[in-house]
Chains A and B, each alone.
Chain A
Amino acid sequence: MIQHAGLAPARWRRLRSKRLTKVAAGTLGALALVALFADCIASDLPILLHLEGETYVLSGLLRPAALRTYNNQQLRRELADRGDGWAWMPLCEFGPRQQPEILEPPPAAPSSVHWLGTDDRGRDLFARLVHGTRVSLAVGFVSVGFYVTIGMILGLVGGYFGGRLDWLVSRLIEIGLTFPTFFLILIIMALLERTSILTIMLVIGLTRWTDVARLVRAEVLRLRELDFVTAARAAGAGPLRIMWRHLVPNAIGPVVVNATFGVAGAILVESALTFLGFGTPPPTASWGEVLSQAYEHQSHWWLTVCPGLLLFVTITSLNLLGEALGQAIDPRIRD
């Protein structure tokens, strides 16, 4: 049995032992839950509603047509009038796109009604940030998954087969390194006629694979000379099998570390793009979009502070996790 050096149990133990890492992982878990249950946390319709003998479950999500003209505030009044229905309200009773009755010219400062204030169209900031979490995390994880796949394949192919293929892969990597990625992404996004979250994921995925490819290639170059690969080859294993069963598990360590930092990078890129106006298209809620509003309304501090803080916390947690993973994999980094 080959003991894989990739993510052996000893490393997991080392990883779990640090308190700060636990905090970071917990924060990320909480953010993931927020992203997953965004519709239960902040929505303009109740989670559960019993009205006129009919029960609606998450009707904003599952039956968007049924209660289109309603929102929480109206439903509350209605329920109070009738007295026969009931509702389970979400934590925050405003939807991310809902523009409630205007009390004062937006953006409104944080208050008991709007916990984090409103944006420049009177939409509740808390609701928008909660739903923005979904965009950020989705972009982060999907795009990184995408480019890790590309980078792994290229790195494996280049490193294992060597020769001309390796030359080609090295040149591709060099070209990829040469383009300032954020710039490239910006150019592509600006040139595309219509953008969506999916295009952002694709573009980030297609432009940032170089580091992974470089790491995997270097690792594979080292590993393929080792005895266990020769042994596997002698046992009659084909290149695909050697790569998948022997090289990938051993080379995955640095890739996981890189990917963790990469998620942070991708989230940052998404919000920066949206901040510049070339990312997530309106009216989708995203952190960068709120920050771009903050640029227009510089004296309204909550527009700057709240989304930025969230962004900072997310990125810090991811970086902490990446750091801890790196230490778990390469103990030399530790003191």
Chain B
Amino acid sequence: MDRLRGGRFLLRRLLWAVPTLFGICVITFALIHLAPGDPIAGGSTGPTGPAVSSREMESTRRLFFLDLPLLYNGAPRGLEARVGRLLEAGRGCGTVCVPELVGLHDGAQTTAAGRQRIERALELIRAAHPGLGPAGVAGVRWARAVLPRLSRGQVERLASRLGADPTVERRLDQLGTAALPAVMDALLGRHGEPRRAASRVASTVTGFEGRLIASYGAEEQSRTLAFWGEWWYQHRRDHVSFSWWERIHGRITETQFAKWLGRVVTLRFGNSVRDGRPVGEKLCEALPVTLLLSLLSMGLAYMLAIPLGIHSAVRRGRPLERVITVVLFVLYSLPSFWVAMLLILLFGGVGHWDWFPIHGLASEGLENAAGWTWLADRLHHLVLPVACLTFGSLAVISRYQRTAMLEVIRQDYIRTARARGLGERAVIVRHALRNSLLPVITLMGLQFPYLISGSVIIERIFNIPGMGMLTFDAFLNRDYPVIMAVAVISALMTLVGLILSDLCYALVDPRIRLEERR
């Protein structure tokens, strides 16, 4: 029965997190829209030339789907829109346009308007290639011949033979971007030689250099794949005609917000602008470092703070307690980054003492050392940063513990316990401790954001490659994909911390669970 109630509480708490999560997504979405103010306004006046900045603008536009409506898309447009645009502009309509018409062809041939558009496209091809002369007519004839043969099904059949039949690649190259949906399916969905062949076709067709080569290492391979995955996420609708179902849900999904939400839900934040690596991968490298730092310092802080808090509550008024209180108060007021710099000044080899390393997490040459050497080196590097992260929360937690303990000691049941003749130790440990731990436990979840925030500055000072360092670098380089990922992840982690602390609270204090039930 009790377990059932606990389960219900957990479920309820998790459900409560959903609107919060949604709010977080909305806020980060709004934040991101603060960011690329320049691509819309066109006010970017960097030292980079106009050509570079317009290209940057285009990539930022694509990154945030700025060409889509914000929340509601009245008429989601796929490939047709693009071909229509090309036809209307009357440019860029070389033979490349012909295969694109193939996608259109399936449906277009049956209506008079569709036939007219195809005729018009063929006219434009001839106009774009006056040098063809009579060959222009031949080109049109070729196109006329080739169009009906290349329905979507046939392209897919062709793409399924990628890697097995060398002539397929050339035939797909000729089809141009019309082959992309099938080619991208092969590139992202298959392995080995078919995938490599698909990457060759995709590179030729799109003009981006992204060929997978058999001799690539795992990292290079994943980077290339990530590039194509992200590219397809951004450009898919330019190359696919939407089905009727896609047209319906596209009203919601083909919007800036939905695309952003899609990134959050699938944790696909794109690729770092700086080195092209997928953001997820960079996060996976940085997160453990920060977690190590945070958990170490949090554990250390709790281990020291709880006894200190209890001691200063139970022995209040004694000289030692006064000293402890003053010291804790001073620690509480010390800015951690200043302390970090003072510690570097004192022990970092700047002045007299060169006791601790101040750079990174491992000495040069010892990154992959074995066993004890590795551990000792790690710990040696961790001393200063962990100390800086610990002392602040140590002060906070012990003050909370002290207040809570003082509160508990005044309760009637403690007096009762004393009156029963229990020793002071038994009273404190058995009766007072458990109840005084409550506020300190809730604090655990709330300490988490502080630790993450603190890690930015401490990791920067000590050059530790964690989340903080990643974020700082991302800020400096305006690496938007990393920034948005970090914003979401840190908020998620804090939310998890909050939920955990609520659960701990409920676990220790049955009243909460019962209250929930009422």
Contact = CB atoms under 8 A, between A and B. Distances in A.
Interface of A: 171-172, 174-175, 177-184, 186-188, 190-193, 264, 268, 271-272, 275-278, 291, 294-295, 298-299, 301, 304-305, 308, 311-312, 315-316, 319-320, 323, 332-333, 335
Given A171-B20, A191-B31, A332-B407, A183 B453 contact: yes
Interface of B: 16, 19-20, 23-24, 27, 31, 34-35, 37-38, 316-317, 329-330, 332-335, 337-338, 341-342, 344-345, 348, 350-351, 403, 406-407, 446, 448-450, 452-454, 456-457, 460-461, 471-472, 475-476, 478, 483, 486-487, 490-491, 494-495, 498
Contact of B350 (A171, A298, A305, A311): A298
Contact residues of B: prevailing secondary structure: helix
B491 A178 contact: yes
A186 B471 contact: yes
Given A175-B27, A316-B333, A335-B316, A304 B341 contact: yes
A319 B332 contact: yes
A298 B333 contact: no
A323 B328 CA distance: 13
Is chain A's interface secondary structure helix, strand, loop, or mixed overall?
A: helix
Given A187-B31, A275-B457, A304 B342 contact: yes
Contact of A304 (B330, B345, B487): B345
B383 to A, nearest CB: 18
B24 A298 contact: no
Nearest to A313: B333
A288 B494 CA distance: 27
Nearest to B487: A187
B10 to A, nearest CB: 17
B345 A298 contact: yes
B453 A180 contact: yes
Contacts of B34: 188, 191-192
Contacts of A320: 329
Nearest to A189: B475
A163 to B, nearest CB: 16
Contacts of B37: 193
Given A186-B456, A315-B333, A180 B31 contact: no
Contact of B490 (A183, A275, A316): A183
A191 B35 contact: yes
A305 B341 CA distance: 9
B457 A272 contact: yes
Contacts of B460: 276
A142 B344 CA distance: 33
Nearest to A315: B333
Contacts of A187: 31, 475, 483, 487
Please provide the 5 A-B residue pairs with the shortest distance between their CB atoms, ordered closest to farther.
Answer: A182-B453, A180-B449, A308-B338, A190-B475, A175-B23
Contacts of A172: 23
Contacts of B333: 264, 312, 315-316, 319
Given A193-B38, A276-B460, A298-B344, A316 B350 contact: no
Given A298-B345, A312-B335, A179 B20 contact: no
21 contacts: A177-B498, A178-B20, A178-B498, A179-B494, A180-B494, A181-B449, A182-B453, A182-B454, A183-B453, A186-B475, A187-B475, A192-B34, A276-B456, A298-B341, A299-B350, A301-B351, A304-B342, A311-B335, A312-B334, A315-B335, A332-B406
Contacts of A298: 341, 344-345, 348, 350
Given A172-B23, A190-B475, 9 more contacts: A177-B446, A179-B490, A187-B483, A190-B483, A276-B456, A277-B476, A316-B329, A319-B329, A332-B406
A311 B338 contact: yes
Nearest to A267: B335
B341 A333 contact: no
A171 B486 CA distance: 22
B335 A308 contact: yes
Nearest to B334: A312
Contact of B31 (A188, A301, A332): A188
B24 A179 contact: yes
A60 B464 CA distance: 45
A295 B24 contact: no
B332 A271 contact: no
B213 to A, nearest CB: 37
A294 B483 CA distance: 27
Contacts of B475: 186-187, 190, 278
A178 B19 CA distance: 12
A96 to B, nearest CB: 21
A305 B335 CA distance: 12
A180 B19 CA distance: 18
A273 B37 CA distance: 22
Nearest to B332: A319
Nearest to A314: B333
A78 to B, nearest CB: 42
Nearest to B497: A178
> Which of B333, B345, B450, B495 has the most C-beta atoms of chain A within 10 angstroms of its own C-beta?
B333
Nearest to B16: A174
Given A191-B35, A308-B335, A179 B483 contact: no
Contact of B341 (A182, A272, A308, A332): A308
A319 B332 CA distance: 9
Contacts of A294: 341
